[in-house]
Structure 1
Amino acid sequence: MSKRAVLEVIALGAEDAVAAQAGGADRLELVTDMAADGLTPSARTLASIRAAVDIPLRVMLRPADGFAAGDTGRLVDMAREMRGAGADEFVLGFLDADGGVDLAAVERVVAELDGCRWTFHRAIDRAADRDALRKQLDGLPGLDTYLTAGSAAGVDEGLPTLTAEAARTGEPGYEQRILVGGGLRLDHVPTLLNAGIDAFHIGGAARPQGWQGPVSADAVARWRDVLDAR
């Protein structure tokens, strides 16, 4: 029997989290301010979601729109606050002005996480050299996932990159799980599953009313059914 695919859903609050879990989500990504593509939520929001559901959740560490780290001291403080509020899994990713990974910023934050598991998010899709980024991050404690569409333009454009990277699983820099998100649709799923990809991330697809409306348990369940039907 094949292993169940992972379905991660973006949650902005406890109502979203409860609906996502009811629909069959395996994990949540906690953010605020989707107008800025997702920033770090408040400790109060984290606490309310943690009290409402019992599935794993990953907390975004991102202080502002864009992929620059900004003040790394502030980032470290955010990580410390989230850990103090009960977070034990995270999402982060920082680039420098040339599109390379900001390794100094990533390493400082990861040191604060002290072994917690984390995802390098879609900053990889804006990187000047994806392969170089992966190899520079290889071996950092806790890194187990890349959230990627394969392209800054989304999964439609990124499918060839995603399938090529999936074929390299196990090579140095490619041991981490590929979590596909960013313009992901249900019709992409068969191609991705056939490539060996087993983790999927949805935000707007879980919200029939758009970002102003809540997560729909029924919408999440449709994704769960497709992933489980393979």
Structure 2
Amino acid sequence: MSNHALLEVIALDAQDAVAAQSGGADRLELVTDMAADGLTPSLRTFTAIRSAVDIPLRVMLRLTDGFTVGGPADADALVRAAEQLREAGADEFVLGFLDDHGQPDLVTVERLLAVLDGCRWTFHRAIDHAPDRDALRKQLADLPGLDTYLTAGSASGVDAGMPTLLAEAARQGEPGYEPLILVGGGLRLDHVPRLRAAGVTGFHIGGAARPQGWAAPVSPAAVREWREALDG
């Protein structure tokens, strides 16, 4: 297995995408509205980014803040958004929903997967809000296309989640633990050595790629610093 670390960077627009690719990002996560922790971007944004770069893109499927899908109309709107993105050429996605009890919302997830039709996808940080992470992984283990968990190990971020991340990294390859662990959520460069030593090979950055804050674009130099830290 390759020890190359995957570096995924959040991109809000084509300028971000070009900067992230030039800095050494392997993949982009496409979102809008970071005030709501990242929602589904417009078709126009997707097509602009897709034509601007040639690295893989994962598009967020999430229309409201939080980790529940909302009511039936909200779920229908999300399915329509997924259909439109697929028709526009999107072929990798990010999604993840819990029910009111913190269990995986399999009804919504399976409706979306029917539209995604075998595309690869990330189950995002909803896992950090589930009361039983192990049970969630086992419930999702057989879903088609699931190849990544984006997680900080804790709803509070990587500082609090480090023990969980290290424990889950030690279980990679077990049933439910085959997908890539993509660490993100308060991730800092000083976390990298411990995570790399534990065998973690996926890293996801948003704010860390924007030293001037979310109102400013991605900095190629900031992305390059991460690339060099991961490759070092």
Normalising to structure 1: TM-score of the pair? 0.98
In the alignment, residue 150 of structure 2 is paired with which amino acid? Answer: L
**Offset, 1:75:** 1.5
Offset of residue 181 of structure 1: 0.1
Residue equivalent to 1:8: 8
Shift, 1:111, TM fit: 1.2
Matched, 1:220 2:223: yes
How much does 1:3 deviate? 2.6
C-alpha distance in structure 2 between counterparts of 1:136 and 1:72, whole Å: 20
Deviates more, 1:83-92 or 1:69-78: 69-78
Deviation per CA, 1:165-206, whole angstroms, max 9, x where unpaired?
Answer: 011111111110000000000000000001100010000000
Q: Distance between the aligned counterparts of 1:111 and 1:46, measured in 2?
A: 21
List aligned pairs for 1:155-166, cutoff 5 A: 155-166=158-169
1:209 matched to which residue of 2?
212
1:189 and 2:192 aligned = yes
Regions of 4+ moved over 6 Å: none
1:101-180 aligned at under 5 Å gives the runs 101-180=104-183
Deviation at 1:131, TM superposition (A): 0.6
CA shift digits 1:109-144 (9 cap, x unpaired): 011100000000000000111011100001100000
Are residue 63 (structure 1) and residue 66 (structure 2) matched?
no
In 1, the alpha carbon distance for the partners of 2:89 and 2:49 equals 11
- Kindly state the Cα deviation for residue 2 of structure 1 after the two structures are TM-superposed: 5.3
Give the AA of the match of 1:168: R
**% of aligned pairs identical?**
74
Write the letter of the residue equivalent to 2:63: P
C-alpha distance in structure 2 between counterparts of 1:2 and 1:16, whole Å: 27
Tell me which moved more, 80-89 or 12-21: 80-89
Task: Specify every segment of 5 or more residues in structure 2 that has no aligned partner in the other structure, as ranges.
Answer: none
TM-score if structure 2 supplies the norm length? 0.97
RMSD of Structure 2 on Structure 1 (CA): 0.9
Q: Which residue of 2 aligns with 1:80?
A: 83
The answer for the alignment partner of 1:95 in structure 2 is: 98
Letter in 2 for 1:150: G
Amino acid corresponding to residue 54 of structure 1 in structure 2: D
5+ residue gaps, structure 1, are none
> What's the counterpart of residue 50 of structure 2?
50
SS at match of 1:182: coil
Query: What is the distance in 2 between the residues matched to 1:2 and 1:104?
Result: 35
How many equivalent residue pairs?
229
